[in-house]
Structure 1
Amino acid sequence: MVFHTNLKLEGFKNKIMKVVLVGDFPEGDKTYGGVQGVLVNMTNAFLNRDDIKLVLVSTTPACTFENFKNRCSVFTINFRSSFFKARKDFDFIIEKENPDIIHLQGVVPGVLLFRRKYEQNFVVTQHAILGEERILQVNKKRKVLFRLKELTENFYLKRIKNIVFISDYNKQIYLRNNKRAHEINYELIANPVNDIFYENEPVLNYTSSNDVYFVGEIKKRKGLHLLIQAVNLLKIKNLQIKVHVIGGYKEQEYRREIEALIKKLKVEDQIFFCGWKNQTEVLEYAKEIPVFVLPSYQETLPLSIAEAMSQGKAVVATNICGIPEMIEHGQSGYLFEKGNFDELAQILEEIFSNPERLRKVSANALVRSEKYRPMNVIENTIGFYKKVLEKG
């Protein structure tokens, strides 16, 4: 099969581009963030455009595309049943749809669908830095799993010609480790936030008590224990902070560690576990909470921070990886050094003792979040597609 484009390259204006968007789509409306959130946000933004004809392919066989199946062509493939059948099914989809662009969000396992015949029009957005995530896994089994993912990603990324980086942080790692980096087409494009965050009026004059919230998988890499220790330090100073934890445990070893820490520090009445919530539910639940905290040890460009900023939250996060690209310390949020819960406690104390400063930081965060608005992200993405087609 010869892969070719439907577009005439002498001009893109008024042309319809067919895009196959591939990734680990969520089941039903159970979208909690991460790559799944990005896929949903991009799909919604693409479907609002007249110049894009969209085809969705999920590497999650349980995905039903409830919100999209009546608006575009949808397919699922199943790596778990058979790797070879999954590749054959994908080849059938591509031959049937004959797209201009194949865009994979996230690398493993979707990159296993890559073939040389697709290389000119195959685009990959790299999200995680698997080598760094592997180091932070809590048991040997998960370390081995991440090592296998890392080897797979490294093998295929050396063969991909078109790459989107979501932060300068992961772009620099790739360029440093890839000898043929000068041969590829690449672009720096941030992840989009769901439009519902921009449609909802943010609260900038908070009247609630000293509340903060955390969103994400509860695992060691996310550093929830640091926030709990900071809460304890402030408790000693008679400043009562309430923490709302939105998410679920990913590692049972870490669950036991967190439960033991809360009991030891006697902060049971200050830490509230809310379970998983989808994007709409997070938006409603956190509406009156002024501060978002993400004390992670490793991130690329967290969607949860962008979502919080789009609602005018004062974000307090670790000064690592791609996070400093999102936040200007003291202006549009706050940064603290990795693992330093004393510094985290000091920042929270400063925030809640200076309401006027909180309002200014919140307003600045709102302005800075415009780069994550879906229409802006999609415009940049389509611009990159055009560059890919011109070079192809």
Structure 2
Amino acid sequence: MEKIKILMVGNDQSVKGGITSVIQQLLAYDWNSIGVEMSFLPTYIEDSSIKKIIFFAHAYKNIKKAIRTDKPDVVHIHMSYKGSFYRKYLIHKLCKKYDVPDVIHLHGSEFQKWYNESNSRTKKKIRNLLAESSAFIVLGDKWNKAVKEIEPATRTVVVSNAVHIPDYTTNWNGDTFQILFLGVLIKRKGVADLIQAISLLKKEGWLNNIKFIIAGSGSEEESLKQQASELKVEPWIEFAGWTDGKAKERYLKESQALVLPSYNEGLPIAVLEAISYGLPVIATAVGDMAAAVREGENGFLIKPGDVSALADKIKKITEDKGRYTQMSAKSKEIALTEFSDSKYFEKIYNCYREATHKKAFKMS
């Protein structure tokens, strides 16, 4: 069987965040075993504005060369919004010029909001990209609806993020109940609300055996540390910095629950990783979060910014071992039945096959 040649483009693997986690997951898969030849070219690094521009200019040149000489069957483009959109729009047009199908993989949790706030010229470009792409991957049903509202002609494919399911399952810890936050420390992640909730719990005398791990880095890190100091909740919080690989696995194994009080999300890898270890989750009802966090079954969903509700759900999840054990088992069940990576790779592969089929049909 002739192999399908895929060129994937997106963040450099040094970039922190969920998009990079997805790219690493895809690159780690044995595509060769199912007849796919996968190559990857990074288009973005975290650096100064000038260095970002230079890096992308080199990336664009290399992508153009790869399309012209290596002739990939499909270009798989990972895209967010703002600067990411403009970079990927140029690559999309390059694909159109050389008649190479592109599969665009949307990750941006604020894509619809950004579209609504954009000027008419940018909106036209966005709709143009949506309509022209061979396939447009979205992370859940809500994002499918949102993209279709922007451009009904978009060939959307719903492929939820997925994770490898570990053999390990978390346990109730009667000595220290550890609650984990995993993510970039930026305003929309709602970590300031979490610290406020911890302060409320302190006033109520509820922090005797609870420890919070904030595993992440970003622009809000110093202000969050200052907030924790001002509210005098430092003894209950560990700022662990950015964690991945074995360090992230260790925190997931050692923790009893995950908290993610974001203001915008799609369906975060952090939540799927947490439920794969059997962690109950306290999160906000945004994006497609409800696909993985079922209210009262394996966690709780609250409104963004509702600090009192966040504190209350932390109490609920830490006060009853029986309820906790049931929630933990449900998290593992949901991960196994709905978010195992085996079906995920099959869906991605089918996107590639469909894109090449469309190309062949067009050229015949």
TM-score by length of 1: 0.79
Query: Which string of whole-angstrom CA distances, capped at 9 and with x for unpartnered residues, describes residues 136-190 of structure 1?
Result: xxxxxxx99xx99988655533432321111222221111111xx23x4221001
Report the Cα distance in structure 2 between the residues aligned to 1:39 and 1:164, rounded to whole angstroms.
Answer: 14
Q: 1:264 aligns with which of 218, 225, 230?
A: 230
CA distance in 2, matches of 1:79, 1:239: 46
Show CA shifts across 1:88-113 (max 9, x none).
Answer: 43121122222222111224223321
Change in CA separation of 1:249 and 1:380 when aligned onto 2, cut-off 3 Å: same
Partner of residue 238, structure 1: 205
CA distance in 2, matches of 1:113, 1:79: 16
Which of 312, 315, 332 is 2:281 aligned to? 315
Aligned mates of 2:99, 2:325 — CA distance in 1: 48
Partner of 1:16 in structure 2? 3
CA distance in 1, matches of 2:78, 2:296: 33
Deviations 1:118-150 (A, max 9, x none): 566111011104456769xxxxxxx99xx9998
The equivalent residue for 1:285 is 251
Q: Does 1:49 align with 2:16?
A: no
Q: Measured at CA, do residues 242 and 152 of structure 1 come closer, stay the same or move farther in structure 2, by a change above 3 Å?
A: farther
| Whole-angstrom CA distance in 1 between matches of 2:250 and 2:138 | 31
Asked if residue 110 in structure 1 is aligned to residue 79 in structure 2, the reply is no
Matched, 1:121 2:88: no
Change (3 A) 1:129 1:247: closer
- Structure 1 equivalent of residue 157 of structure 2: 187
Moved over 6 A (4+): 147-152
- Measured in 1, the distance between the counterparts of 2:229 and 2:236 equals 11
Matched, 1:306 2:290: no
Structure 1 portions without partners, runs of 5+: 1-13, 63-77, 136-142
- Structure 2 distance, partners of 1:51, 1:336, is 44
CA deviation map 1:223-258 (0-9, x unaligned): 111111211222222210321100112247xx33x3
Instruction: For 2:134, give the aligned amino acid.
Output: K
Query: What secondary structure does 1:104 align onto?
Result: strand
Unaligned stretches of 5+ residues in structure 2:
360-364
**SS of equivalent to 2:357:** helix
SS at match of 1:163: strand
For residue 23 of structure 1, give the secondary structure of its aligned residue in structure 2. strand
8 Å contact kept, 1:33–1:303? no
Contact preservation (8 Å) 2:252, 2:274: no
3-state DSSP class of the match of 2:205?
Answer: coil
The structure in which a higher percent of residues are helix is: 2
Aligned residues of 1:166 and 1:188 also touching (Cα < 8 A): yes
How far 1:372 moved relative to its partner? 3.0
- Shifted more, 310-319 versus 259-268: the winner is 259-268
Q: 2:124 and 2:11 mapped to 1: Cα distance?
A: 19
CA root-mean-square deviation: 3.0
Check 1:15–1:52 CA distance in 2 against 1; reply closer, same or farther (3 A cut). same
1:201 deviates by 1.5
Q: Which moved more, 1:300-309 or 1:125-134?
A: 125-134
The residue identity in structure 1 corresponding to 2:228 is: I
Q: Contact (CA 8 Å) 2:109, 2:287: kept in 1 or not? A: no
CA contact (8 A) 1:132 1:298 kept: no
Query: How far, CA to CA, are the matches of 1:249 and 1:324 in structure 2?
Result: 26
Distance 1:124 1:94 in 2: 16
1: CA distance, partners of 2:191 / 2:6:
39
Aligned 8 A contact 2:75 2:100 in 1: no
Q: Which amino acid aligns with 1:16?
A: K
Match of 1:49, SS?
helix
- 8 Å CA contact 1:208–1:289 kept in 2: the answer is no
Q: Give 2:160's aligned amino acid.
A: A
Q: 1:228 to 1:129 in 2, by over 3 A?
A: closer
In the other structure, the counterpart of 2:293 is: 327
CA distance in structure 2 between the aligned counterparts of 1:40 and 1:320, rounded to whole angstroms: 25
Q: CA deviation at 1:383?
A: 1.4
Assess, with a 3 A threshold, how the Cα gap between structure 1 residues 101 and 156 changes in structure 2: closer, same or farther: same
Residue 220 of structure 1: how far off its partner (Å) = 1.2
CA distance in structure 2 between the aligned counterparts of 1:352 and 1:315, rounded to whole angstroms: 12
Deviations 1:343-390 (A, max 9, x none): 111111111111111111111111211333322211011112222222
Change over 3 Å in CA distance of 1:263–1:133 after alignment to 2: farther
Contact 2:215–2:240 (Cα < 8 Å) also in 1: yes
Residue 228 of structure 1 aligns to a residue whose secondary structure is helix
Counterpart position of 1:377? 344
3-state SS of the aligned residue for 1:81?
A: helix
